Amino acid sequence: MKDQIFEQCHRHFNDIVAIRRDIHQYPELGFDVHRTAGIAADALQALEIPVKTGIGRTGVVGDLEVPGATKRIALRADMDALPIQELTDVPYKSKIDGKAHLCGHDAHTAMLIGTARILSEFRSSLKTHVRFIFQPSEEALPGGAPAMIADGALEDVDEIYGIHVFPLYTVGEYATCSGPMLAQSDTFQITLTGTGGHAAFPHLTVDPIVISAQFVTALQSIIARNVNPLDSAVVSVTQFHGGDANLQNGLTGAALNVIPPKVLIGGTVRTLQKAVQTRVRGQLERLLAGLADAHNATYTFDYQEGYPVTYNHEPCVSTAVSTARGLVGENNLIFPVLPILGGEDFGYYSQKIPACFVMVGAGNEEKGIVNMCHHPQFDIDETCMIYGMALLTNLAML
């Protein structure tokens, strides 16, 4: 079976590379993935797989029905690109300024099309129905997955699998784990308001910079003293703005003798468990409220929940692990891989039905393909698509 699957993957490889490169050159963002969705829908229709379009606004769902089957598994690909300028010089570089497939979703779409082609050829030996899910807007909140689910993408589905190309692992490797694999990724925005004034008369002001600085320092204690050392969490402040400087000019022309009236602070919280998220969120606001109160300042605290944890369930993990092991052997399977504190909207599916997410090695040091997803010079060793297709195909053939 393994040899047969790899043989089919190799046979389709050049076509799938061409599809990936075509999508790569015309990246689309968020829900605006009409061209890419069209390619997916046309590919399924050509295989006589019934297709629904406009699911989750611009998603595509195809159902490969197998006579007599009682179980249905879903395979999911995301289709959207990122609002980043690509800085590679590959011949298939993005033709659209400021947009690029730097997370590999072009490859995910192409691999799922390839998988559909191979499974169609194996149709007579399939034992389960297979649903192909091509979703928009993985990169941008609120995510395409909730919209797909609301439109019925998971109806009658027993299990769902997703893959992601990952250049930090080498082509030919797979990585996954049980339980939480990717983080709940939230953001927060804070306005801390004091009273501005003359910098030489601080006693007549409520200085929001000093209070904000204390807050940023104090919140480090949340991870150190409020989260169990054996649990994982990140709190990062990524924005800290006060004063009147125009950031493009540095501090040239800025009023260095004025205490500003307010400071804006923003950042992200990453957790792997709901209880930890609740605790971190609560403690963030308690620290802020306490410091603001102690110094006579006021604040606003806006906490935005992002994608939920991507959770890998049994029996899907065992199925994925034994399938991956069968394809590449124990030495090329990274299991259990440590969870990653990045976010993925596959998490929404995993909150609904048994699911497993697998990283597919896409790096190749000899070819210089080492840049992580979202890097302006991100690329994949396209050979990884053989392994992506092989895994998805094999999962659907069990």
CB of 84 to Zn ion, least distance (A): 10
Residue 109: which of 24, 6, 8 has the closest Cα? Answer: 24
Q: What angle do CA 32, 35, 39 make, to 5 degrees?
A: 135
Task: Please pick, among 28, 63, 78, 80, the residue that the annotation labels catalytic.
Answer: 80
* Site stretch for Zn ion (CB under 5 A), options 12-20, 101-109, 234-242, 244-252: 101-109
Q: Does 79 bind Zn ion (CB under 5 A)?
A: no
* Site stretch for Zn ion (CB under 5 A), options 3-11, 41-49, 95-103, 265-273: 95-103
CA distance 361 to 379: 12
Q: Does 81 bind Zn ion (CB under 5 A)?
A: no
Tell me: is residue 129 an annotated ligand-binding position: no
CA distance 187 to 200: 36
83 or 253: CB nearest Zn ion: 83
100 or 316: CB nearest Zn ion: 100
Please give the size of the binding site for Zn ion, defined by CB under 5 A: 1
49 or 373: CB nearest Zn ion: 373
Strands 184-193 and 298-304: antiparallel
Q: Does 340 bind Zn ion (CB under 5 A)?
A: no
Query: How many other C-beta atoms can be found within 10 angstroms of the C-beta atom of residue 208?
Result: 28
Asked if residues 284 and 265 have their Cβ atoms less than 8 Å apart, the reply is no
Task: Please pick, among 138, 186, 344, 382, the residue that the annotation labels catalytic.
Answer: 138
213: burial class by Cβ within 10 Å (0-12, 13-18, 19+)?
middle
CB of 373 to Zn ion, least distance (A): 5
CA distance 80 to 61: 16
Q: Cα dihedral sign for 369, 361, 142, 281?
A: negative
Known active-site residue 80: yes
Q: Does 23 bind Zn ion (CB under 5 A)?
A: no
CB of 210 to Zn ion, least distance (A): 37
Strands 72-78 and 129-135: parallel
CB of 196 to Zn ion, least distance (A): 40
66 or 360: CB nearest Zn ion: 360
* Site stretch for Zn ion (CB under 5 A), options 99-107, 109-117, 125-133, 312-320: 99-107
- Token pair 């595509």 is found at 60
CB of 141 to Zn ion, least distance (A): 12
Tell me: is residue 374 an annotated ligand-binding position: yes
Residue 55: which of 171, 174, 152 has the closest Cα? Answer: 152
Q: Does 147 bind Zn ion (CB under 5 A)?
A: no
Asked if residues 85 and 100 have their Cβ atoms less than 8 Å apart, the reply is yes
CA distance 36 to 79: 7
Q: Does 130 bind Zn ion (CB under 5 A)?
A: no
213 or 234: CB nearest Zn ion: 234
Tell me: is residue 375 an annotated ligand-binding position: no
Single-letter amino acid code for the residue at 295: H
CA distance 45 to 8: 20
**The binder of Zn ion chosen from 84, 103, 145, 163 (CB under 5 A):** 103
140 or 210: CB nearest Zn ion: 140
CB of 122 to Zn ion, least distance (A): 28
Contact flags string 223-262 toward Zn ion, x per CB under 5 A? ----------------------------------------
User: What SS3 state is found at 323?
Assistant: helix
Single-letter amino acid code for the residue at 189: Q
Measured from each CB, the residue nearest to Zn ion is: 103
Q: Please list the residues that pair with 78 across neighbouring strands.
A: 135
Report CA-CA distances (Å) from 239 to 142, 216, 242, 267: 21, 11, 10, 6
Q: Does 60 bind Zn ion (CB under 5 A)?
A: no
Known active-site residue 138: yes
CB of 358 to Zn ion, least distance (A): 13
207 or 381: CB nearest Zn ion: 381
Tokens at 104, concatenated: 């590999």
Q: Which active-site residues does the annotation give?
A: 80, 138
Binding stretches for Zn ion (CB under 5 A)? 103
List, as residue ranges, the binding site for Mn(2+): 103, 105, 139, 164, 374
List, as residue ranges, the binding site: 103, 105, 139, 164, 374
